[in-house]
Structure 1
Amino acid sequence: MRAFQRHALILLAFQVMASALEDSPEKTNGFLLFLRQHFIPDYVPLEDVDCNHLMSGSILTTGKCKKANTYIVSFPDLLQAVCNSKGKPYNNLRKSLDRFDLITCTLEEDIAEELCNYKLRRFSDSIVVGCDRYGYPVHLEESYFQTAMEKEAKASRTWYNYFL
């Protein structure tokens, strides 16, 4: 799929999300920002996801390459449900009861400030979010995934060493 078509699909997704949110802008501004930073619509083919495109086309890169960002492949209503019936308390945040398909874009090399190259990692896990007083997710706790990835890497090194 061409970059223009991808851009059009993502733009269409945001228009659908905005029209689907019936609450006032005061209640949904934080959620819309959360979606812009961490959301990929479930109907976008994952083979068409390009981290370099996602990271450069977002508000996340402002003059410097961001080291990493995680995207949730889902629907807005399923993300919102984590703040309510589909989530449980996790410290002062909410942890999803269900797993989500996730994509993490990680900076591979920082050639120049305007040339960022990202590698893509797909995985499935629970998400941990901060919710606002209206019941919308407004923060994704990415350190939750980093800890899980570190444990996974350590476990794979342990198994590797076991067979040496």
Structure 2
Amino acid sequence: MRILVTCMVLVLLSANVRSQPEAVSERYRKFINQHINADMSINKCDKEINKLKITKTGSNECKETNTFILATTNLVKSVCKDAGEPYNNLMKSTKPFSIIVCKLKGGQRRPHCQYRGQSRTRRIAIACEDGFPVHFDRDIVHFEN
């Protein structure tokens, strides 16, 4: 009986270890899909958010704000390592990024969401897991001295 319990615990632990990288990569893929688009413009908010089916988490309601980072995945990923610095429980980019902020101006449910886009240059604050960005938290105004 003791051997059976030990074997079951080992199987569960190994399954958990295997699923953790998959969970991170799934969250990373969602982050890329939702926040990285080097070709984004202020006039594409409605089209891109509808195409990508971006909504409030777990619903069909329009998301209030979505930010697109105009960069490559590798540049954004580097914020989790050498191009970022700790910022509360997040990482803040050491250099500013060009971003498009899409703010809801009308509509309640997908696909009727309407957005107004704004172009900004800001540092970004993201959550990282195992060296991968998994959540966009905010953009940060940065003034050079």
Paired residue type of 1:137: P
Distance 2:73 2:111 in 1: 31
1:10-159 aligned at under 5 Å gives the runs 26=22, 27-41=24-38, 44=39, 46=41, 50-61=44-55, 62-110=59-107, 114-132=111-129, 134-142=130-138, 144=139
Structure 2: stretches of 5+ with no match in the other structure: 1-20
Shift of 1:117: 1.4
Percent identity over paired residues: 30
Give the TM-score normalised by the residue count of structure 1.
Answer: 0.64
Q: Deviations over 1:20-56 (max 9, x none)?
A: xxxxx72522211100111102xx2747x51110111
CA distance in 2, matches of 1:54, 1:81: 25
RMSD between aligned alpha carbons?
Answer: 2.3
Higher helix share: 1
Whether the aligned pair in 1 keeps the contact of 2:92 and 2:124 (CA below 8 Å) is yes
Deviation at 1:59, TM superposition (A): 3.0
d(CA) in 1 for partners of 2:79, 2:108: 38
Q: Of the two structures, which has the highest relative contact order with CA contacts closer than 8 Å and spacing of 6 or more?
A: 2
Contact 1:102/1:123 (CA < 8 Å) preserved in 2? yes
Paired amino acid for 1:130: A
Residues 93 and 57 of structure 1, relative CA distance in 2, 3 Å threshold = same
Q: Distance in 1 between matches of 2:116 and 2:79?
A: 28
Partner AA of 1:30 in structure 2: R
Rounded to whole Å, the distance in 1 between the matches of 2:125 and 2:29 is 17
TM-score by length of 2: 0.72
Give the match's secondary structure for 2:37: strand
Aligned residues: 118
Q: In 2, are the aligned partners of 1:37 and 1:59 still within 8 Å (CA)? A: no
Q: Is the 8 A contact 1:103 1:121 kept in 2?
A: yes
SS at match of 2:113: strand
* Structure of larger gyration radius: 2
